[in-house]
Amino acid sequence: MSKLNALIAGSTGYIGIQLVKLLTKHPNINIKYLCGNTSIGKSINYFDKSIKNKKLPKIIKFNNNLLNEVDIVFTALPNGESQKISNKLLKKNTLIDLSADFRLNSANEYLKWYKIKHNSKSNIKNSIYALPEISKTKLKSYKIISCPGCYPTSILLPLIPLIKNNLIKTTNIIIDSKSGYSGAGRGVHKKYAKKNLYESLSAYGIGFHRHNSEIQQELNNCTKKNIEFTFTPHLTPMFRGILSTIYLDLNKNISIKHINSKLKNFYKKDLFVKILPINSNISTNEVINTNYCHISVCKSKHKNKLIILSAIDNLIKGGAGQAVQNLNYYFGYNVKKGLV
């Protein structure tokens, strides 16, 4: 069986490590290069002892010549760095980016939210915001596959079908999301050293978290109406997982059964989205170490209101797993490869 050669840039971060684990199980992928800046010469096993594959290459510094020898480039880098690599891509390369560099359709919006000037504006048109269940049929037309952020993944999967079908009011949507601290990257331990990270719950980015931008962009793409929502993220004393609680107002004559049925029908062919029975109590525990998103539609004490729960593993469905899922759709592989 012929294999595609892959390079992972940013291979030692939490997302990079998870990506290595998934791709080593993928029968169509050969990990040819692992790249990093401060870990050159080390084995990936140094960063995660559970990786037992001794055939994996040692970590090297990225250089443009490596692009001649690979088909796919995965970038799990700090924001701004994937743009540099995108400018050097060869015709044979496909870039699957896990940073925010190509999530926004406007360089001005990117500057506004990330405070970084976009240095690959011409490549924005060559990229697609790739939430797999929504964009899977469109991927082949693009050279750069931009994977959504972890919070937006948990939020957009339940909301997009409802907004597309005009089932909910597009004002006063309240989103309360809680994430494991791995979502903040390896630097989280230093950043929150004085905040008792392992025993406390912290709200952050209140009102202006960067993920507001891509949530707004993608929800606005669903309808001509103006989408109004409030999003507040929280950091929890667990390593991984996201639980988003979304409060909605129903449109007239729309029942909870209709909402649940519509979601089930929308995702009936999508392996990794599970719509659970109405009023199911869900937790991150059921999705940890998987590429699944569990969604539960719940009654509110108010007749025309609804509560939706959405749970994912931020490092897999909200990160590396989503990248592999996009890889499978892009190259026509079975969607389960590397993931189940």
User: Is residue 338 a contact partner of residue 332, using CB atoms and an 8 Å limit?
Assistant: no
Phi-psi region of 185 (alpha: psi -120 to 50; beta: other; left: phi over 0): left
For the four alpha carbons of 30, 290, 104 and 126, in that order, the dihedral sign comes to positive
DSSP 145-205: EEPPPHHHHHHHHHHHHHHHTT-B-SSSEEEEEEEEGGGG-TTHHHHTTTTTTTT--EE-S
Distance CA 54, CA 62 (A): 21
Sheet with 59-60: list strands edge to edge: 59-60, 29-35, 4-9, 72-75, 94-97, 144-146, 127-129
Residues taking part in catalysis: 150
How would you class 37 by CB atoms within 10 Å of its CB: exposed for 0-12, middle for 13-18, buried for 19 or more?
Answer: middle
Looking only at the bridges linking them, the beta strands covering 173-180 and 202-203 are: unpaired
CA distance 101 to 35: 18
Give the tokens for residue 81. 């760095």
Q: What dihedral do alpha carbons 85, 205, 317, 79 form, nearest 10°?
A: 0
Helix, strand, coil percentages for the chain (3-state, nearest 5): 30, 20, 45
Structure-token pair, residue 94: 């496909």
Summary count for the chain: helices (H), strands (E): 10, 14
